[in-house]
Amino acid sequence: MTDIHDVRFGSAGPAGAAEAPFGDQARGAVADGRAGDGVGAVETARTGHAAGAAAAASRPELLSRARDELWQAVDARDELTAARGVFDLLDSGLAAEDILLEVIAPVQHRVGAEWAAGRITVAQEHAATAIHDRVIAAMAHRATPIPPESDGTGRRTRVTVTVACVEGEWHALPARILAETLRLRGHTVDFLGAQVPTPHLIAHLHRTAPDVVALSSSLPTRLPTAHAAITAVQATGVPVIAGGAAFASDGRYARLLGADAWAAGAREAADVLGRGLPRPHLDAARPAVDDLPHLSDQEYTMVSRGKRQLVKNTLAGLEQRLPAMRSYGEAERERTAEDVAHIVDFLAAALYTDDARLFTGFLDWTGDILEARGVPARVLLPGLELLRQELKDFPRALDFLAQGGAALHGRNPRPTAPGPGAAA
């Protein structure tokens, strides 16, 4: 555990995963060389001759070059060049939706990946995000939504939608990209931004009565909060579409928590809303336990409520076991405590969803982060072992901790050659 405090996942959380929500599918589309789905094609056609030329000739190359240029501009914190590049793409006839989902979203994803690989700092990540945010705001003035009659299909419904991030979710960009995509598709969008407390969201719904709420969350540790938000929104008679890395790549946690729909990305979400979502069935009050019967064993409640004490005890145990830790300063000790707190948070989320993969996935991801910084993933093992002793009366928690330990043991030792930003 000697060096784990060098890793700053404390505040940013799994940023690699975090950039994916509602924008993630763009990567897939780009990676396998698809030139865009049906909607993209419709839009390309709509934009006329310039679009035709750009799209027909060398669309994949155009997009790939655009991504490289945007990445360079963002990496150099050069907002002007970043914006100019995006405006040139608009001028060349590329549809705004394609720019959002096939240029900006993948570059933002790369920002997360570069951080995970230890090549850029958290501050650089924030700077890049801020630039993307401003560029999107500027684009919003330029790109006009599809007029009602011209989408050609004639069967899309236009809805009013409120887009919000779950309370405690600070990664607003994916939700922002979703909001812009929906706006471009002609929907009426209220974008409430990052970290919306559920009482604010509900008050907003009573005031505006949208057709649907799109809820974004990237951190699986926010799933219990997301569940409360989903239930509360549905209780007002409004359906919820969930999106973001927190809900897993196959949306299984969205289904588990009773969301009315789930979308892998902004395009999928726009398609779902285009087909319309029925109002949720109202069961006067639906307690969480109805969706998640395993919660009745109280393990989630006990672990999340006893988190502080768990962290304290585990920290004390680590100090006993690892003599090196006794010489830690205040700051190093605190970072180690933060790391333990994160492990407990993810364990609690795994207990809430009753899915060990949530926990093992987190440990595996943390292993990658550590190894990118030259720290073997095995440093996590003593902490897990101590937690097993603390939680010996909790069979599900013990099982997850055992699976987590096995996942760490089973990792192939990876080359630990950190990039230039290893100290990030």
Partner 1 sequence: MTTFEGSSRRSRGLVLHGGASWTQAPYPALVADRAGGVVEVNAAAAALFPGALSGARLEEVVPAWLADAHRRATEDGGTGPTAAVRGRHQELTLEAHPAAGDNGDVVWWLVDDTDRVVAETALHDERERTAFLADASTRLLASLNVDRCMEVAVRMAAEHLADAALLVAPAAGKRHPMAASVRGSSVVHTTGRIDPSAVPGLSEALQGFPPVPSRWIDPSALPDWAVPEGLDGPVGSVVVTPLPGHGVPAGALILLRRGETPAFDASEEVFARVFAARAGVALSAARLYTEQTSITATLMVELLPPKLRQVHGVEFAGGYRASRDTERVGGDFYDVHPSTSPDQETFAVLGDVCGKGLAAAVLTGKIRNTLQALLPLADDHENLLRRLNGALINNRHARYATLVLASVRREGRTTRLRLTSAGHPRPLIVRHTGQVEEADTSGTLIGALPEVSARTAHVDLGPGETCLLYTDGVTEAKGGPLGDVLFGEERLRAALAECAGLPAEAVVERLQMLASEWVGTGPHDDIALVAITAPHGTHLTAVDGRTPGRYTA
> What does the binding site for partner 1 look like in residue numbers (CB under 8 A)?
10-11, 77-80, 83-84, 87, 121-123, 126-127, 129-131, 133-135, 137-138, 141-142, 167-168, 170, 194-195, 197-200, 203, 205-209, 235-238, 282-284, 307-308, 311-312, 315, 331, 334, 337-338, 340-341
Q: Are 20 and 218 in contact (CB under 8 A)?
A: yes
Least distance to partner 1, CB of residue 126, Å: 4
Least distance to partner 1, CB of residue 235, Å: 6
Q: What is the DSSP letter of 255?
A: H
Least distance to partner 1, CB of residue 171, Å: 10
Q: Whose Cβ is closer to partner 1: residue 278's or residue 410's?
A: 278
Least distance to partner 1, CB of residue 276, Å: 10
- Angle at the Cα of 398 (from 396 to 401), degrees rounded to 5? 110
Q: Quote the CA–CA distance of 215 and 196 in Å, as a whole number.
A: 10
Q: Whose Cβ is closer to partner 1: residue 35's or residue 232's?
A: 232
All residues at 6 or more sequence positions from 250 whose CB lies less than 8 Å from its CB, including other chains = none
Q: Whose Cβ is closer to partner 1: residue 127's or residue 398's?
A: 127
Least distance to partner 1, CB of residue 108, Å: 14
Angle between helices 307-321 and 381-390 (to 10 degrees): 120
SS3 of residue 77 by DSSP = coil
Q: Whose Cβ is closer to partner 1: residue 134's or residue 409's?
A: 134
Least distance to partner 1, CB of residue 274, Å: 16
SS3 of residue 141 by DSSP = helix
Beta bridge partners of 188: 160
Sheet with 212-216: list strands edge to edge. 188-196, 160-166, 212-216, 240-243, 261-262
Least distance to partner 1, CB of residue 208, Å: 7
All residues at 6 or more sequence positions from 395 whose CB lies less than 8 Å from its CB, including other chains = 299
Q: Whose Cβ is closer to partner 1: residue 250's or residue 290's?
A: 290
Give me 355's structure tokens.
């899915």
Task: Quickly tell me which residue has 């970290």 as its tokens.
Answer: 195
Q: Quote the CA–CA distance of 162 and 205 in Å, as a whole number.
A: 8
SS3 of residue 14 by DSSP = coil
SS3 of residue 63 by DSSP = helix
Least distance to partner 1, CB of residue 268, Å: 25
Beta bridge partners of 190: 162
Q: Whose Cβ is closer to partner 1: residue 11's or residue 412's?
A: 11
Least distance to partner 1, CB of residue 168, Å: 7
Least distance to partner 1, CB of residue 228, Å: 12
Q: Whose Cβ is closer to partner 1: residue 130's or residue 322's?
A: 130
Q: Whose Cβ is closer to partner 1: residue 13's or residue 265's?
A: 13
Question: What is the distance in angstroms between the CA of the first residue and the CA of the last residue of the chain?
Answer: 18
Strands 188-196 and 212-216: unpaired
Q: Whose Cβ is closer to partner 1: residue 132's or residue 267's?
A: 132
Q: Are 272 and 240 in contact (CB under 8 A)?
A: no
Q: Are 311 and 390 in contact (CB under 8 A)?
A: no
Q: Whose Cβ is closer to partner 1: residue 11's or residue 153's?
A: 11
